[in-house]
Structure 1
Amino acid sequence: MRLDSQKKLTCWADFKNINVYIDQKEVLSNINISLNYGENTLILGPNGSGKSTFLKLLNRSIYPISSDNSSFKLFKKENINIWDLRKKIGFLFKEMEQRVNIGVTLYDVIISGFSGTFNSRYSKLLSKGEKTKIDNLINEWGLNNIIFNEFKSLSDGQKRRALLARALVYTPDILVLDEPFCNLDIKSNFILNRNLNKLIDQSINIVYVTHNLESILPKTNRVILIKEGTVLKDGSPNELINSKTLSDLFNISINVIEQKGYWRMVPLNN
């Protein structure tokens, strides 16, 4: 059963008749979705389908076209202060890694969750409580031995853990993650999957994009399929993560296999 068919769910993001254009091209069309507390949501679709754009609506880096019959509310507000938003939602986007300059340490990256800028000078302005929070995150994410290494010298797995620690500095209720498993080796993928499921156990709700079925979090309880800028289907993993639905979504014949809450796909010969 879909979670939003159950009673007493509280909505934190509400999209009504949302359309998004980038460079005069329609990227999202007629999006009508509510995201609710208690849901861990996978956004799945082909490259170029509008998944990342959908997530960027949530961090207010992209705005929809305004019309009389459309509305977009975060925490029941059409306008929200960006600093208030950061305290409620932690974000990880793929391009964040490219924004970090040469010479910036892993520690600088994490504390930038408070300041918004990758600048070591902010470390002198941290409050005692902020320093304690940073130290706890460093321990939780196993970053002690590399905390003062240059960020750009780190492995993809280490960079991802640092950026997730950054996203958690305000102890948000929600994490929004764009391709968190991209370019990770098997061990890093497993560690990240395990740590994200621990966060879910701590009542943090996760909205994420991934192309790899093997990276689907076992505690995912909602799946939104996006294709060509529109929501194709919206339901539970059991309803939508199957051979027929995903073959139609990606325009390729595949066999989807589930084992103990984990998924993988095998191509089929036509």
Structure 2
Amino acid sequence: MTDLSPLLRIRDAHVRCAGREILAVDEFSLAEGESVALLGPNGSGKSTFIGLITREVHPLHRDEAPVLFRGDARVTLADIKRALGVVSSTMQDQIRVHVPAQDIVAGGLFGSLGIPQRCTVTDGQRARARAIMNELGIGDLAERDILTLSTGQARRVLIARALVHDPDVLIFDEPCTGLDPEGMYYVRQTMSALARAGRPVLLVTHYPEDIAPEIQRLLLVRDGRIVADGPKEALLTSETMSGLFGVPLEVVRTRDRYSLVDC
């Protein structure tokens, strides 16, 4: 019998902090191989939502588990780390040691930023890290000190790190935060190329410009709730975006990309 369980299912999940509910998800399912973008203002609950998926945030206990991963409520953290590749600007802020960029990439094989002291990297693992960097067009950065790279270059190194263990889904959490236009261009092009190649992407952003043309499903998040879930073209309208962000905005479409401008 074919397993029709979605990759991820969240149902009736509530997250509280300091006695206040900061996120409530009535129903969300992510099919195997599906890409989706979460769009909403700062403080809307997007990162908390991602925390439910990565097991960094835990919902209130219920007899029926609120979060299922491939139908399993007891999935281990190791299973989650194997299935997900995560890229975020906050991760980049945690890098404070002088190591070659390829060591940051290889660290993805161990779920760490860099190679843990207790671990030995094999020639095959180093070759894998190099191959991923070459695929992303950053092979020339392999020997460079990670702390000497531009913010955009370092962000692309983190994408290679997320890919090195061949995850089922790539999570991009505000991937263009802190980048200049050049950095944004290369990160967005990389996300688009990965999605186009069939790599499922879960994108979290407050910039419609980040949403790759290949991502067709959009979730709108505001005040700790999913306020809409549907096709990107139906939701990326001036009226909907103005309501989501609470200011008058106009949606401009250029080819297959969307952007927001003040009215």
Length-normalised TM-score, structure 2: 0.92
Q: How many residue pairs are counted as aligned between the two chains? A: 261
Q: Does 1:249 align with 2:227?
A: no
Contact 2:5/2:71 (CA < 8 Å) preserved in 1?
no
Distance in 1 separating the partners of 2:206 and 2:126: 36
- Which runs of 5 or more residues in structure 2 are unaligned? none
Contact 1:223/1:235 (CA < 8 Å) preserved in 2?
yes
Distance in 1 separating the partners of 2:114 and 2:248: 48
Q: In structure 2, what is the equivalent of residue 3 of structure 1?
A: none
Aligned partner letter, 1:231:
I
CA offsets 1:199-230 (integer angstroms, 9 cap, x no match): 11222110111222222211111000011001
Q: 1:192 to 1:151 in 2, by over 3 A?
A: same
- The structural deviation recorded for 1:104 is 3.0
Q: 1:78 to 1:195 in 2, by over 3 A?
A: same
Instruction: Give SS of 2:167's match.
Output: coil
Contact 2:81/2:111 (CA < 8 Å) preserved in 1?
no
Q: In structure 2, what is the equivalent of residue 198 of structure 1?
A: 193
- The structural deviation recorded for 1:101 is 2.0
Contact 1:104/1:118 (CA < 8 Å) preserved in 2?
no
Q: In structure 2, what is the equivalent of residue 50 of structure 1?
A: 45
Q: Does 1:165 align with 2:178?
A: no
* Equivalence map 1:28-177=2 (5 Å): 28-68=23-63, 71-120=66-115, 125-177=120-172
Aligned partner letter, 1:93:
S
Instruction: Give SS of 1:136's match.
Output: helix
Identity percentage over the alignment? 28
Distance in 2 separating the partners of 1:114 and 1:46: 33
Distance in 1 separating the partners of 2:66 and 2:90: 28
Cα RMSD, aligned residues only: 2.0
Contact 2:39/2:207 (CA < 8 Å) preserved in 1?
no
Match of 2:182 among 187, 198, 204: 187
Q: 1:18 to 1:120 in 2, by over 3 A?
A: closer
Q: In structure 1, what is the equivalent of residue 220 of structure 2?
A: 225
Q: 1:117 to 1:262 in 2, by over 3 A?
A: closer
Q: 1:118 to 1:172 in 2, by over 3 A?
A: closer
- Structure 1: 4+ residue segments shifted above 3 A: 117-124
Contact 2:5/2:70 (CA < 8 Å) preserved in 1?
no
CA offsets 1:72-99 (integer angstroms, 9 cap, x no match): 1112211222222222111123221122
Q: 1:215 to 1:235 in 2, by over 3 A?
A: same
Q: 1:221 to 1:259 in 2, by over 3 A?
A: same
Aligned partner letter, 2:167:
P
Q: 1:69 to 1:85 in 2, by over 3 A?
A: closer
Contact 2:108/2:162 (CA < 8 Å) preserved in 1?
yes
Aligned partner letter, 1:242:
T
Instruction: Give SS of 2:175's match.
Output: coil
Distance in 2 separating the partners of 1:9 and 1:206: 20
Distance in 2 separating the partners of 1:213 and 1:57: 23
